[in-house]
Every structure is written in C-alpha cells, then in structure tokens.
Amino acid sequence: KQEVTQIPAALSVPEGENLVLNCSFTDSAIYNLQWFRQDPGKGLTSLLLIQSSQREQTSGRLNASLDKSSGRSTLYIAASQPGDSATYLCAVTWGAQKLVFGQGTRLTINP
Amino acid sequence: DAGVTQSPTHLIKTRGQQVTLRCSPISGHKSVSWYQQVLGQGPQFIFQYYEKEERGRGNFPDRFSARQFPNYSSELNVNALLLGDSALYLCASSWTGQNEQFFGPGTRLTVL
C-alpha cells in the first residue's frame, strides 16, 4: 500500500532556528512530491514541487530534498519566523494522478 | 490571475440532506480534483476530472458524485448526508492532473 508518513505530528522551536521537517513514503516509484503549508481552517498553499528526477528544490528560506532510494523527503526552513507557524503537509503522486498526503506536522515558532 | 475559487465558504446541513459544492480552476487548467479533510488529518482523495472525464476515484461511497463542465469548473455532490461527512472539502486544479496542484480555500461543511 502506498502511504506517506510525517513525524513528528507537532514541533515547537524558538524564533531564528533552522529546522527540518520529515516525510517518508513506502514506494520509491514516485512521479513527484509536493510540500504544502496550511493555516488553521484554510486551504493548502503549494510551497515546493520536486519531480522524480530531481534531488532538491529551493524557494527563498525553504529547501526540499528528495531521496527516493530511502523513501524520504525533508523540508528545511532557515531562520524560522513566527509567521512560519502552520501545518506542513507532504504529498506524493505515484502512477495515478491523485495526491497521497501525510498527516502533517504542526509547526509553532515561538517569539 | 485569480487562483482556485470555491463556493460556498461554509455550509450547514442536516443528516439526510443533499449538498452541492462548486469549484472554478485556475484559468487554463483542465484538471480538477476533490479532497476531503477531516480535522487533524491529511486530505483524502475523492475524485479527479480531466477534460470532463473522470480520471480517478478514491475510496468513497456512491453518495459522492462529481462532474466537470465544458469551462472546466466542477461540482461535487453528496447525497444522504451523514454526520461523518462534516469536513473541509478542498478543490485542486492543475494543467493535466500530474503537474503541480493548486488548492482553493475550501468549503467547510457541517452536518448536524
């Protein structure tokens, strides 16, 4: 079964720290992997998309890496700010077109 | 350019009723997908449409149905509502369905 897991479910860090969010998936034959941000009660904002052939993508203070062989992706956030507080979701597309989501990591940045 | 739009924003229904949710994709996008997100969980795939054809269906009962119109907008219908249908319903659009997905703000459905 194709599944996505995100651990931990919640993370709290002081402002200014660099941090890493983890995502693991069960089948390495992915098509692409996407990281999203979700604020409470809101829709999803796409942060980064990594194609199967890529190893990483960067956008501003965010860097996402992909290691298919180990079934892992990480989202690195540099110099965290209180505005980064949100739930971060990892989603994988395999052969079918649907996104399979992890449960998310709820991130709190403390001023 | 406008992003993905969904209507209504919030909806309150009673058990047994029927509901229709609407989604307009980003201009030029031909694929629309629907997801259900219950509190504290990641979104679950319901349907995907591309060029007005159903391309995929998740593990949801037949009470859930959808369609895509010639202008690529979409409707999600849920019949015989149950308390467990209470959730945030998200619509996503993309060029073909396998590209980057862009989500709308969602419709919050509460079933009493």
pLDDT tens digit sequence for B33-80: 999 999 989 999 999 999 999 999 999 999 999 999 999 999 999 999
Q: Is B97 on the interface with A (CB under 8 A)?
A: yes
Contact yes or no for A99 and B98 at CB 8 A: no
Pairing of strands A19-25, A4-5: antiparallel
Q: Tell me what pLDDT residue B1 has.
A: 61
* 3-state secondary structure at position A84: helix
Enumerate the β-bridge partners of residue A35: A48, A90
Of A46, A97, A103, the CB nearest to B56: A97
Question: At a CB cut-off of 8 Å and minimum separation 6, what does B61 contact?
Answer: none
Phi then psi for A38, rounded to 5 degrees? -135, 120
Inter-residue contact A77 to A84 (CB < 8 Å): yes
Q: Tell me what pLDDT residue A103 has.
A: 96
Q: Which amino acid is at B73?
A: S
Contact yes or no for B33 and A91 at CB 8 A: no
Residue with tokens 């010639």: B70
Contact yes or no for B56 and A96 at CB 8 A: yes
| Token pair for A90 | 């990892």
Stretches in chain A below the pLDDT threshold 50? none
Contact yes or no for A43 and B108 at CB 8 A: no
Angle at A64 between CA A61 and CA A70, to 5 degrees: 155
Q: Is B57 on the interface with A (CB under 8 A)?
A: no
Q: Tell me what pLDDT residue B96 has.
A: 80
What count of Cα atoms within 13 Å lies in the side-chain half-sphere of residue B111?
Answer: 18
Of B42, B92, B100, the CB nearest to A104: B42
Q: Tell me what pLDDT residue A41 has.
A: 87
| CA closest to A99 among chain B residues | B45
